[in-house]
Amino acid sequence: MSSVTVRVPAKVNVQLSVGPLREDGYHDLVNVFHAVSIFDEVVAKESESITVQVTGDWSDQVPTDGSNLAIRAAQALAKHAGRTYGADLVIKKAIPVAGGMAGGSADAAGALVACNELWGLGLPLEDLMEIAGDLGSDVPFSLMGGTAVGTGRGEQLCELPTGGTFHWVFAPADGGLSTANVYAECDRLREESGVEVPWPKLNDSLMEALGTGDAYALGSHLSNDLQVAALNLRPDLAATLDAGRQHGALGAIVSGSGPTCAFLAIDATHARDLAGSLTATGAARTAVAAHGPVQGAILV
């Protein structure tokens, strides 16, 4: 096999409950991931060494050195297989960079699936999931897709059945936010307020809304503990969220650590209209309609 192509979705968190800071610098989470139809593509070609090139939207913002998560994923897979392998990776980006939609994690998951195939390793998904968890908290979900509850750092996943398709609009913001900085800001604000941080708990009403496919109920139960911190670092996002609500979004939240804003729409037509209104009024520079859940990293 000389070339392999993998398609990997973005995610939004429909519930992101953040527990107290752990000793290892992470937080225990209840993290309800939902994969949506904005896709990066990872192509892997036979080569002597492991390299990466990035094309498409946002490509100038992605590092192509050893810090690139897709390169690290390919290296980790080769190490797991116990051999030296090479691959030229080409990533076609559509997922916002540092946008709170797991774009880097998607590329890492794509590289794992692509190199597993290119190198003829035939490793089962469980092995790839284990390697993925060491690369980043969101990488296992990028492999799995669908809708799932993540606990621990977010890497321990349990699949959630959903009762239908949900329609979304995503408004990427100019300039990214560092996930680590947003968590740190969340800790700072919590320390300042002196309130004891409760242990994160799954929202039963949200689970029911996902299970029945009730977009109105889901919209009213969306939650993100990182939102206050993200808004503190990027106060301009509040106006974007408000504009979406004014245009009839059933729910409006910052996606993960942000700064992308996520709006839940009534149906596909409403999503298209909402995206059009957000850009026409200048509330967002770009807005993309998408749906979920969709499957995780797959060979195409």
Q: Which residues bind ligand C5P (CB under 6 A)?
A: 25-27, 29, 136-138, 153-154, 179-180, 183
**Per annotation, catalytic residue among 40, 107, 138, 214:** 138
- What is the side-by-side order of every strand in the sheet holding 166-171? 251-254, 261-265, 166-171, 288-292
Asked if residues 172 and 286 have their Cβ atoms less than 8 Å apart, the reply is yes
Give 291's Cβ-side CA count (13 Å radius): 14
* Residue in this structure with the two tokens 């946008």, named with its chain if needed: 99
What is the closest distance, in whole angstroms, from the C-beta atom of residue 153 to ligand C5P in the complex?
4
- The secondary structure of residue 145, as a DSSP letter, is B
What is the closest distance, in whole angstroms, from the C-beta atom of residue 163 to ligand C5P in the complex?
28
Residue 138 bears catalytic tag: yes
Residue 11 bears catalytic tag: yes
Residue type, 263: F
What is the closest distance, in whole angstroms, from the C-beta atom of residue 277 to ligand C5P in the complex?
33
What is the closest distance, in whole angstroms, from the C-beta atom of residue 179 to ligand C5P in the complex?
4
Residue (137 or 203) nearer to ligand C5P, CB: 137
CA–CA gap between residue 288 and residue 95 (Å, rounded): 10
Nearest position to ligand C5P, beta carbon:
137
Residue 97 has a CB neighbour count (10 Å cut-off) of 20
Query: What distance separates the 2 farthest-apart alpha carbons in the chain?
Result: 58
Of 181, 251, 200, the closest CA to residue 222 belongs to 251
What is the closest distance, in whole angstroms, from the C-beta atom of residue 104 to ligand C5P in the complex?
8
CA–CA gap between residue 211 and residue 147 (Å, rounded): 10
Residue 127 has a CB neighbour count (10 Å cut-off) of 16
Q: List the catalytic residues.
A: 11, 138
